[in-house]
Structures are given as C-alpha cells and as structure tokens.
Amino acid sequence: MKKFVHLVIASIVGSALTLGVFMAAGFGKKESTPFLHTTSAIPAHNVVYSVKEDGEIVPLEFTEVSKQVMDAVVHVKTSRKISAREQGYYNPQFPSDPFGDDFFRFFFDQPVKPRDNKQKEEPLIQSGSGSGVIINPNGYIITNNHVIADADEIEVSLPDNEVYKAKVIGSDPSTDLAVLQIKKDGLTSLPIGNSDEVEVGEWVLAVGNPFDLNSTVTAGIVSAKGRNINIINDKSAIEAFIQTDAAINPGNSGGALVNLKGELIGINTAIASPTGTYAGYGFAIPANIVSKVIADIMKYGMVQRAYLGVIIREIDGTFADKNNLKRYEGAYVDSLMEKGAAAAAGIKEGDVITAIAGKPVRKTSDVLEQVGRHHPGDQISVTVDRKGKELTFTVVLADQKGERKITSREDQGVLDLLGASFETIDENMARKLGIEGGVRVKELRNGIIKNQTAMKEGFIITGVNNKKVTSVDQLKKELETIKGGAMFSGIYENYPGEIYYAFGIE
C-alpha cells in the first residue's frame, strides 16, 4: 500500500512539472511571468549548488579536494600467525569484530583462513586490511590501533602501488590510534585541521580502502559531534566521535575524514550497522584528539593520559527529575576517585559539570574529549552546577596513579610497561588448578601486553622464557633480566591446556 501511495505522489508531481514545461514552451498563456521564467531555468539533472562569496551560484564538486588528499591515504595490510597451541583458545572474531553482532562495529576488514580438523596442527594466517593517513613527509602514518594490534607483519601500500614494511612507533588503545613509520621520504601528507571548528551539516569526504578497493572517496555531511558509542574496549576509552553519513565500509578503518579545505578533521574508525557494511552512519576520531596522541607518542614514546578522577553519567529528563536537577544537559558526577584531581579541587558528588577549560559540556563525551586533550600536571578550569549555584574550580589533572607530572618510559618499571596489574595466586588456588603457583593478570590497560598480544584478564602466568614463576616479585625479577623479548606460559582457570604469549620488550 505504501509503495502505491509513493507512486501516486510521484505521478502527480511529474504531471505538474510536465504542465510547467508545456506552459513555458508557449502552450499556455503567452505572457511571460517571473514564475515561469524561474521554472524554465531549473536544470533537468540533479546537481547540488553552492554560493560563492561574490554571490555566484556554482555546482558543488569535490574533484580538487579529492586530488589533494588521495595521495596521502594509504592501504595498510597486516598478517599474524596463530600457532597450533593458540588455536584452541583463539577466537577468530577478535579483534575484527570484538562485539559479535552488536549494532556498532569497527570496520576493519580482517578475514581469517578457515580451519578444519586437518589444519589443527598448522599455523593459521590471520590477515587484515585497513587504511592509514600520512601525517609527515618522512614516512609517519596514523591509523587505528585495532588495525595493527597483534600483527606480526605490517605492510603499507602507497597510492602508486609501492609497498613498504611498516614499524609501529606507538599505539594507544584508549583512543584506538597508532603511529606507523615506513622508510620513505618526500611523501604527500595531510594538514591536520581544528575539529572544534567542524559544524554539523558541513560537507566532508571519507577516503580509504573499503573492501580492498584502493583510494576510494565518498562524500557526505557531518551528522553529529561528540558521539559516545561504547565501542572502544578499554577501561580508559575516550569516545567523542564525529558522526558522518559519508559511505564507509570494512577496510576504511584508519582512513581520513577531511573537510573541503583538504584538512584532516578525523580518523574513520567505526560504523553503525546491523550487517557490518554501510548503513548510513560512520564515526571518526576528532582531529584534536588525534594530534594530541601523535604529539605524545613522538615526544614521549607513550601517550600521557590525564584523568579528572570522577565517575560521570549522562543526564536525561527522567534522571534530572529523579535527582531534582534543574538542568537536562551536562555530566553528572556520580562518584569521585579517592585522592583524585577533582576531589582535591573541591568538586563533590552530585555536581553537574557544565564546562571544562571554557568549553561547554552537554554530555559525558564532552568531558572525555576535553580532559583527553591535556596532560598530567595541566591546570584546567571546571565549572559545575551545585544545586542551582554555578561554581568554577581550578583542577590539576593527574595520571592513573595520581601523579601530577609527565612520565617517561625510563620512569616506568617493567611491570608498568607491560600495562597490567598482577597478583600472586594463593596455595589453595594453585592446588585446585594443579600447578605449583602462578601470577594472575588482574587488569589490562594500555601497554605492551595489550598492544602485542591477545591475552585476556584472568590469565595465570606460570613461566617466563621457560623459567617457573610463582610470585609477582619473581615475575618482576625475571623480566628485568630480559632483553629483546619474552614469552609467557600459563593457563586460564576454566580453559584446558597451556597457552603461550610472546612479545617484545625495548
């Protein structure tokens, strides 16, 4: 029935246009009218027009900006060997689709060679395909962390089909970004724009390699800003995505979102889709977060993450009414971290954060984005609504450990570099598992283990490079003597067999 109605409406509109054409051709009244003159001037084909500064109406086209940006977007290909030992524990949906059938998906094209019983003894080759953006003529490239995570080998293919091996300079799972380098100078790079100036409704282009189709450009508009879609699987995740309706698909991960000036305003990262392919919405990491992560990795060798020390939640009409709030925007302070930056400055539970560093806060993603641009030790102003009274505090941001200063790799102990917290299992647990002892991985955060392996929290380490480990102190002692690389052997509590994880230590 709906289809019939649509056809009828189209038919009526078509008749009206036909009548207009006949009248304009002299079959109606002979007198010329402004209406008929205007109607006859409308082109017969579909073209979007724009108005120049001098008032001239011109077709909106993207050829020049496409020429500017295409040479700066590369094809990133990865491969990883899944050993016979790992195959029993390996989940082929990770990390290409870490959220199963969830609505939001990373769009990293990562097919895995199918296996059967005959292949059980053979290593599997996990291959992946994504995109990257050249940010420096000397071979530095930005991409998504999930594109290169766990890869044994990374290749970068330039638009002219030259292929280079790539090295990972640094990565940050919290923002899903990574910096690569290839040995090639004189490359075309993209200037990084100011994502704060991006406006909803603004025309943008998405450039990448969907479905292994090199150098693909699509156009759309910015649909929204500051989207938090809970797709980055990290406890310190920063999500404040630019949403766009430019068509992006598997393989676009790590590609460029650019404005019509040819400036990089975002790194394409995820799509909203029930099928895993384009369904109308894509999400890009804002350029201002990208530039901060790049600068930290290049200068410090690691991202300097600042924390406000609050647990915040969104405010809607129901929540506001239930908690007697007089505003429906902002970030509600649900709880405070003990000795955290916010608590030390005087912020309290029940406050509603309305501005950070002079930037308005309408939702929790605004807090994550603004704090994520700063370093430990930075002072920022935080404005809150406390029971209808506006208060502004000066907050000195801290890192995850509460330190209010920049941390270099040299300042970190070996366990900190691994990016995990550990605990020695007790004798009862060891007996239950049939082992002499071990060290449980309690929590994983940004670090070597998360960047280089598929290890999960709960893994119990029983050996390092074939030496038995039964305590955290022993683990630390063994790691401090290692140069180059290490291999953990161990078990999961509810999974049979011994598992191995290998990684490099600089």
Convert 41-57 to b/e letters by CB count within 10 Å (16 or more is b).
eeeeeeeeeeeeeeeee
CA distance 147 to 110: 9
Q: At what angle do helices 364-372 and 287-300 cross, to 10 degrees?
A: 30
CA angle 74, 303, 241 (to 5 degrees): 60
Tokens of 493: 């509590």
Question: Does residue 146 have an active-site annotation?
Answer: yes
* DSSP per residue, 323-360: TT-S-SSSEEEEEE-TT-HHHHHT--TT-EEEEETTEE
For the chain, how many residues are written? Answer: 506
Centroid of chain to Cα 489: 31
- Distance from C-alpha of 485 to C-alpha of 227, rounded to nearest angstrom: 39
Q: Which of 75, 97, 131, 146 is catalytic?
A: 146
Distance CA 356, CA 365 (A): 12
Alpha-carbon distance 310 to 331, whole Å? Answer: 10
> 3-state DSSP call for residue 127?
strand
Rounded Cα distance between 117 and 98, Å, is 25
Q: Which of 96, 129, 195, 253 is catalytic?
A: 253
- The active-site residue out of 97, 176, 378, 399 is 176
Active site residue 45: no
- Residue from 273, 227, 240 nearest 106 by CA: 273
Q: Which among 270, 288, 291 is positioned nearest to 279, based on CA atoms? A: 270
Tokens of 188: 């075309």
Residue 176 known to be catalytic: yes
Q: Which residues contact 64 (CB under 8 A, 6 or more apart)?
A: none
Q: What positions carry a catalytic annotation?
A: 146, 176, 253
